[in-house]
Amino acid sequence: MCPMPLTGLEIYKQLPKTNCKDCGHPTCLAFAMALASGKASLDACPHVSDEARAVLDSAAAPPMAEITVGTGQAAVKLGGETELFRHEKRFYNPAAVAFLISDTLPEAELSARLAAIRDLVFHRVGLEYRVQMAAVKNESGQADPFKRAVAAAAGTGLALMLVTDDPKLMAAGLEAAGQNRPLLYAATETNWEAMLELAKAHPCVLAVKARGLEALAGLAQKITAAGFKDLVLDPQPTSPAQAVADLVQIRRLAVKKRFRPFGYPSLVFAGAEDPAEEALEAALYVTKYAGVVVLKNVSRAHLLPLLTWRQNLYTDPQVPIQVEEKLNEIGTPSEDSPVYVTTNFSLTYYSVQGEVEGSRIPSYILSVNTNGLSVMTAYADGRFTAEKIAQVMKKVDLESKVKHRTIVIPGAVAVLKGKLEELTGWKVLVGPREASGIPAFAKSNFAA
């Protein structure tokens, strides 16, 4: 078993205690406390002795390694997590979604499936959601079909996962993968030495699989003892319930106990045949706490909610998603086009944008920086005021963009109308309370 994390006082005992401040902290004790809570790196102290460094390494290392699969544009970062719960700080690297592809697929079907996976790209609230990995599985038992499927998958620009327990076939797949730095799935109790050689030689990330946490920890320990640390863990659960229990234990032991063999991202296969059930199962694993989820069914309708859920989990809870403060053009607006005002909270802005687009009247939307707060919250907080709107109207030189002098404010802040008219001399129309009312509002006010 690995050592427990050190407390601040235990770390302090190992430091030089000169309070020289070279680490950027006022005292050695303050630095020790920062180190214990993961907020500082031991490298910041240039005076720590080699013996002390050896003792402190376990406290200084992050609880879970951050691992990169793929290279360049296709690179996917996994793990690097420090918390059990999002609200404690944040989660960092969203679970990668991989789609399984058999090397027994006929040529045309293989190309169609790869194209369908590559095209699974969605745009929502100004962000792009996509599938990151193609998991090519050797089901043929032969090298040539595997190489053909891996080469075709490598051409998609996705990160790759090569699935076979046979080191000889894995070597063939690696040959076809070129410089893609795929995830090798998987090292087992019987093949790990050969798989480790391949992972070291290329070099690649190595998935380790063993049924049950004890066996998995033992195998991971053997591989890390051989000096290899780019691992992903698969506890081979026998049911979704077992998968969640295993994933939670792995994360808990890594983060709370600093159990080194589990200090790596984990991987799980969704097993359900029905696409809707599979997406639900995957959502469970994305939530608790998979680093990679492998799916079989390629379905846009089921993938969008899964990726949306993933995105919601991995945003920073302390930083609302925001759009830029600017005058946005919807369609090709002219000097006669309506002007709507809203805040720069992404969900608010894109709701308004969608409805303005739905009105089919080219328009402007002025997104006012409220630090990502929605209309009512920003108003209550004093960040969405008549003064602020007037200031932004001036900043974007709205007067030169339209020849009319009419602006639409959200119905929820109708109270700003009088003050805004007084400050700007513009006519202020009170729009609907909900964005969904915009098409009808636009039709009755601007259709002519």
Distance between CA atoms of residues 410 and 351, nearest Å? 12
Distance between CA atoms of residues 238 and 276, nearest Å? 20
By beta-carbon proximity to ligand SF4, the closer residue of 11 and 389 is: 11
270 touches ligand SF4 (CB under 6 A): no
| Spatial contact of 98 and 156, defined as CB atoms under 8 Å apart | no
**Does 154 sit behind a cis peptide bond, omega within 30 degrees of 0 on the bond before it?**
no
Distance of CA 43 to the CA centre of its chain: 28
Q: Least distance (Å) from ligand SF4 to the CB of residue 16?
A: 4
By beta-carbon proximity to ligand SF4, the closer residue of 14 and 385 is: 14
Q: Identify the three-state secondary structure at position 140.
A: coil
Q: Least distance (Å) from ligand SF4 to the CB of residue 18?
A: 5
The stretches of 119-212 forming alpha helices (DSSP H) are: 143-154, 167-177, 192-201
Q: Least distance (Å) from ligand SF4 to the CB of residue 15?
A: 5
By beta-carbon proximity to ligand SF4, the closer residue of 19 and 111 is: 19
Distance between CA atoms of residues 232 and 209, nearest Å? 9
427 touches ligand SF4 (CB under 6 A): no
Q: Least distance (Å) from ligand SF4 to the CB of residue 14?
A: 10
Site string for ligand SF4, 20-59 (x = CB under 6 A): xxxx-x--x--x-------------x-x------------
By beta-carbon proximity to ligand SF4, the closer residue of 45 and 295 is: 45
18 touches ligand SF4 (CB under 6 A): yes
Give the residue, chosen from 19, 58, 140, 224, that forms a contact with ligand SF4 under the rule CB under 6 A. Answer: 19
Distance between CA atoms of residues 284 and 116, nearest Å? 24
Q: Least distance (Å) from ligand SF4 to the CB of residue 256?
A: 26
DSSP-assigned letters across all residues of 412-423: GGGGGHHHHHHH
Segment interacting with ligand SF4 (CB under 6 A) among 2-10, 15-23, 72-80, 198-206:
15-23
**Does 364 sit behind a cis peptide bond, omega within 30 degrees of 0 on the bond before it?**
no
Distance between CA atoms of residues 34 and 42, nearest Å? 10
By beta-carbon proximity to ligand SF4, the closer residue of 26 and 155 is: 26
Segment interacting with ligand SF4 (CB under 6 A) among 11-19, 51-59, 193-201, 225-233:
11-19
Distance between CA atoms of residues 168 and 432, nearest Å? 66
405 touches ligand SF4 (CB under 6 A): no
111 touches ligand SF4 (CB under 6 A): no
Half-sphere exposure of 348 (CA within 13 A, CB side): 29
Residues 6+ apart with CB under 8 A from 436: 355
Q: Which chain residues interact with ligand SF4 by CB under 6 A?
A: 15-16, 18-23, 25, 28, 31, 45, 47
